[in-house]
Structure 1
């Protein structure tokens, strides 16, 4: 089989037929880390390192594993030297999805089919640098060329969304929406929490000296995001906590933390449980989807975190968290009240989130996430989820990416994986081909469009 050829990831003629049905479907991306400033300013990039690696911790982690010095990854070395270092070890990435994604980007966006290596580094650098000067390689043009219909960024509640406002007038053909990311409001045990409370007061003009003011200020930001087209909240959780907690109890914990007194583990858990339920109530009022990203143990490698900070490639996965019992109260409080999408970072937790989805009509399994967003991980998840819940209930693909060029390649990998999974069902006599056509089209486009209300 040719590298990234027409049958890439497609094992049968039926899979090829099904991929043809969805290959050109517009992209709906309900969860990304899009740089809205980059899109609106539309200045483009200077070189292939900026495009492919400057913001991609998947690339960084793989380079570290192959012995590349940090100065040539996130340090101050010139981009040309960083690209050469990446190209030198890139053949050793084979088998990892990063190898495919970047080659897909080069092939689909630049027309470059030459494999990346030390020998081809200069050729690819020069050719991509030349093409990046063209108007049609600017961010807005590329989004239109990839047929990105909707993209949702991830935004702190205190954001003024100035660039989202500009995008309405300055970006045509692409609907750019914010997502209300509430981690900093919930994580009372982290040092930046008090800073967030002060920023929230400044951004809303609402005093947050007391708990009622804090809640009112959060609600103000929620409504502000609603006015700017937001359709979902998002919350990153290591281990969920959900149980009945009174407002009086939460108020006491709030006051204690604001006064600088230490909190017990129970108090931290109670505050998080109250806030999770409060966020759910806000989402019901505005008709939003509640997205919960569960499981990552962030910043696990201390040296890396201290040198570079979060989102640098030092997060790990663990089986040792409780999901079912810990989220039971929340699921029952919001049973049929609002749409909920569950993502988990550890594939051993698919049975838990999938059976929860099976039990609640308003709950959906989200895309295979983080360490699982490879063809292997996607197919595994789709096969399991479809056998227990319903494939038609899958929430669809998200890019979860900071890198604009990756939207096309990640969605292509998902669509090919989806076509392969459903194609195998057809080949085994489990699904009629006509039903398979409708199913892949539904998951690739219709389902996320309806679920998120785009």
Structure 2
């Protein structure tokens, strides 16, 4: 049975088809936030089979398989790659109306030219066909990126990372820009003193001096920001339940750091204060460097403690949180803005009930100095599907300027995830096309085509100061 993914997939009106095919489809991809391995890009990894490139590390798929009652042995366990693919293939028909159903068939078609609907019946044949194609150079990691016209991507890197592979990529792959992005979450992740002190030891080794107190920590972090900057980094990213801010300097982070060094547990307020002060310091460093800072807010992580203890973090047990966001976010951005130290900033929310609140907060700090200085970020994680994308686009359109939006990202660990940019572009073009057909926008192809191109490519190019290909 042939796939339902046709040339006009998701395009339900004539004007939207024109926008996509003539203005969006062939633009290069800028993926400014993902979790791809720079080592695998550098070494141009060859995947032995489709399970290795498609299923390994993909907790979206793992959650669906668990929901269907698939045993963990066939998900993250000891089953063979072929057995795991067979179980995933038998799961796919049951994912109808989940975005996985669209993504799975779009990815099979774009990377492997397979237009059949994946099922238990054709799993073996597709496993064999895709495994053979993965041995061709066009399907090694760099080839997979080039197939999707990826021009620039930013990986997610800890302050202690050496960035050696980014340097080697720069030398070996001139047409592909791969930049590190600074992700310092562990530097203020003080919930567990033992875990934190192990990280401080690693950071001390990286900067080649012993971090004895909080001031040393800040020196070390600024040292690493300088290093990342020298390697081409211009972006920082943070994953937090919420931002924190205190209007008065009621605690002393040097005392809190000493408490951690003594292996003593901080109180909830002390943890929040430590995070707030460290993030403010980092944000000021980013501003000095002219970086973009990103805040991914609202996930409640590691909910299933039993399975977390068995499988570890990032295995599919996170969800949308219901945190109070706006007061602290406002105060945090205000403190930076009041001293003119607020960098270009993207804020992402995970709870759709907060869409309008986030969009209005972003608008409060656009001061005319930079186009789209503070951005209400793309639909993220559980929301990066058709409904979530449309809600984010509609909210931004109603409250801010859609025309300034820096577009989509994958936030993915998979080298087969880049058709999500195509998916987003189809959703965007269809949405604008609907407005034209209803008479809510003029049928000005030249102007609307420019807006679409800006959102899909040019705005990000300018916002992040990425070089032209």
Task: Establish whether TM, by shorter chain, passes 0.5.
Answer: yes
- Post-superposition offset of 1:172: 2.9
2:281 maps to what in 1?
A: 278
Q: Distance in 1 between matches of 2:248 and 2:415?
A: 41
> How far 1:435 moved relative to its partner?
2.6
Aligned residues: 452
CA contact (8 A) 2:151 2:177 kept: yes
| Cα 1:201–1:245 shift into 2, 3 Å | farther
Q: After TM superposition, list the pairs within 5 Å mapping 1:251-400 onto structure 2.
A: 251-319=254-322, 321-335=323-337, 337-361=342-366, 362-400=373-411
Matched, 1:5 2:6: yes
Moved more, 256-265 or 29-38: 256-265
Does the 8 Å contact 1:246/1:274 carry over to 2? no
Deviation for aligned residue 1:30: 0.7
Q: Name the SS of the counterpart of 1:17 in structure 2.
A: helix
Structure 1 unaligned regions, length at least 5: none
Provide, for residues 109-148 of structure 1, a one-character-per-residue CA deviation record: whole Å limited to 9, x for no partner.
Answer: 1110011101110110111111111111111122122111
Q: 2:245 aligns with which of 242, 245, 248?
A: 242
SS at match of 1:28: strand
User: Aligned partners of 2:411 and 2:174: how far apart in 1?
Assistant: 22
What are the Cα deviations for residues 252-287 of structure 1, in whole angstroms up to 9, with x where unaligned? 111111112222222111111101101111100111
Distance in 2, Cα, partners of 1:412 & 1:285:
35
Q: Deviations over 1:176-223 (max 9, x none)?
A: 000100110112113422111111100011221111111101111111
Structure 1 residues 48, 2: CA separation in 2 closer, same or farther (over 3 Å shift)? closer
Match of 2:109 in 1: 107
TM-score scaled by length of structure 2: 0.94
1:149: Cα distance to partner?
Answer: 0.7
CA–CA distance in 2 between the matches of 1:206 and 1:389? Answer: 46
CA deviations over 1:323-365 (Å, ceiling 9, x no partner): 1101122211233631010011111111111001121112101
For residues 267 and 2 of structure 1, the distance between their equivalents in structure 2, rounded to whole angstroms, comes to 55
Alpha-carbon offset, residue 427 of structure 1: 1.8
Q: Distance in 1 between matches of 2:138 and 2:91?
A: 30
Partner secondary structure for residue 235 of structure 1? strand
C-alpha displacement of 1:17: 0.8
Tell me whether 146-155 or 301-310 shows the greater mean CA deviation.
301-310
Q: Give the Å deviation of 1:393.
A: 2.6
Aligned with 1:293: secondary structure? strand
2:383 touches 2:389 (CA, 8 Å); kept in 1?
A: yes
Displacement of 1:444: 0.4
Query: What's the CA shift string for 1:355-385, capped at 9, x where partnerless?
Result: 0112111210111000000011101110121
Q: 2:30 aligns with which of 28, 31, 39?
A: 28
Given that residues 237 and 294 in structure 1 are in contact (C-alpha distance below 8 angstroms), is that contact kept between their aligned partners in structure 2?
yes
1:137-180 Cα deviation digits (max 9, x unpaired): 11112212211111100011000111111111122311000010
**Structure 2 residue corresponding to 1:436, chosen from 431, 438, 448:** 448
User: Is residue 296–residue 318 contact of structure 1 (8 Å, CA) maintained in 2?
Assistant: yes
- When the two structures are superposed, what TM-score results if normalisation uses the length of structure 1? 0.97
Contact 1:247-1:274 within 8 A present in 2 as well: no
SS in 2 for 1:274: helix
Counterpart position of 1:48: 50
Distance (Å, rounded) in 1 between the aligned partners of 2:269 and 2:110: 52
Deviation at 1:243, TM superposition (A): 2.4
Structure 2 distance, partners of 1:17, 1:139, is 32
Give CA deviations for 1:10-59 in whole Å, capped at 9, x if unaligned: 11011111111111110001100011111111131111111211121101
- Cα separation, 1, equivalents of 2:89 and 2:448: 40
Q: Which residue of 2 aligns with 1:16?
A: 17
Residues 145 and 2 from structure 1, CA distance in 2 versus in 1: closer, same or farther, beyond 3 angstroms?
A: closer
Query: How far does the alpha carbon of each residue in 1:267-324 deviate from its partner, in whole angstroms, 9 at most, with x for none?
Result: 11111110110111110011111100001000011122111111111001122x1111
> What is the distance in 2 between the residues matched to 1:342 and 1:395?
12
Distance 2:310 2:220 in 1: 34
CA–CA distance in structure 1, aligned partners of residues 151 and 84 of structure 2: 33
Give the secondary-structure state (helix, strand or coil) at the position aligned to 2:89.
helix
